[in-house]
Amino acid sequence: MKVANNFTLRVMREGKIVREETLGGNLPEMRAGDPSELADLRCVPSIKTGFCIYCGSTNQLSREHVVPYALGGTLTITEGSCEVCRKKTHEFETDVLTGPMRMVRYLQNLPSSTKHRSVPKTVELFVKLGEMQQQIELPIEKAPIFLDFYEFGEPKYLEAASRGTSLDVCSVVTGSYGQDPGHVISELSTKGMTIVGAPRRPVAFARMIAKIAYCFAFVQGHIRKLENPSELIDAFMENPNLIGRFVGSIPPPFVKYEGVSIRVAIKALASEGIAYAEVQLFAASGAPTYIVVLGRIRDGEVLS
């Protein structure tokens, strides 16, 4: 996660400036994690089910990626998703994986079924030159690419019903994945930059994170150890207004794992008998880590 030195960044959505800040060169609070402690997702064997892991159907089954293919996911569940459920997951994953995420995927050479043909070749910026604001376009390889990550409140799974079930978006962390913004600002001899941002879709993002957590727990054999996994499925597949009951994020300091693309881990909150997952996209950059409550552990079962 990089920030530039001493310039004003403005993010505009739907014709309005929704964010303005002076970036002073300070990184978010961050610590280094030990990647040697992590299991390599590429080494986890794929499995075959013969039924949809979401609804149980045996009709029109297709392969389900645990982590979306567009994020480099190779771990799959063969014959694990029916056509109806595949369309649902495809819709909310597409909402997340387009826009700025599409450009970051291109820059990091992540897989694309279309060979990145839909990625724009240039990035549109507004910069302040003298007293005038001027629209310019830079080749994507020479432009700053900013990607928003949401900071959510804690999952409300253990909270009183009066707290509700909706998703709390506490703040937004912006990562820089293209050219260093400070270098671009220096090259352009400007102190201000305005970027037209993509629409924010925090609920779609939370649904994708929950789907990754559920699928990984399924592959690892943990879902059968839970009393009520259908509650999580319902939240990310059918009733996204409930997603805040299951999805949250870990506050800073963020943890950076060198050389790690996606980090997923299954853990237990022993005091409450709850299984949960940690999911971190772009772990090598120190992006936020998300928590997904999987459900209550059955009596006598142990997560290993």
The pLDDT tens digits of the residues spanning 170-190 come to: 888 878 888 877 778 778 777
The pLDDT tens digits of the residues spanning 247-256 come to: 999 998 899 9
Cβ atoms 103, 139 nearer than 8 A: no
| pLDDT over 90 (residue 128) | no
| pLDDT over 50 (residue 238) | yes
pLDDT at 4: 41
| pLDDT over 50 (residue 12) | yes
- Mean pLDDT calculated for residue range 36-59: 89
The whole-angstrom distance between residue 226's C-alpha and the CA centroid of its chain comes to 25
**C-alpha atoms less than 13 angstroms from C-alpha of 91 in its C-beta half-sphere:** 11
Q: Give the DSSP H/E element, type plus range, for residue 91.
A: helix 83-97
Q: What are phi and psi of 206, to 5 degrees?
A: -65, -35
Domain coordinates in residue numbering, the chain? 5-296
The pLDDT tens digits of the residues spanning 223-233 come to: 999 999 999 99
Lowest mean pLDDT among 34-38, 82-86, 234-238, 241-245: 34-38
| pLDDT over 90 (residue 145) | no
| pLDDT over 70 (residue 259) | yes
Closest by alpha carbon to 168, among 178, 159, 177? Answer: 159
pLDDT at 233: 98
| pLDDT over 60 (residue 1) | no
Predicted confidence band of residue 28 (pLDDT cuts 50, 70, 90): low
pLDDT at 3: 42
Q: How far is CA 5 from CA 161, 173, 219, 223, 299, in A?
A: 45, 17, 44, 47, 54
Cβ atoms 217, 266 nearer than 8 A: yes
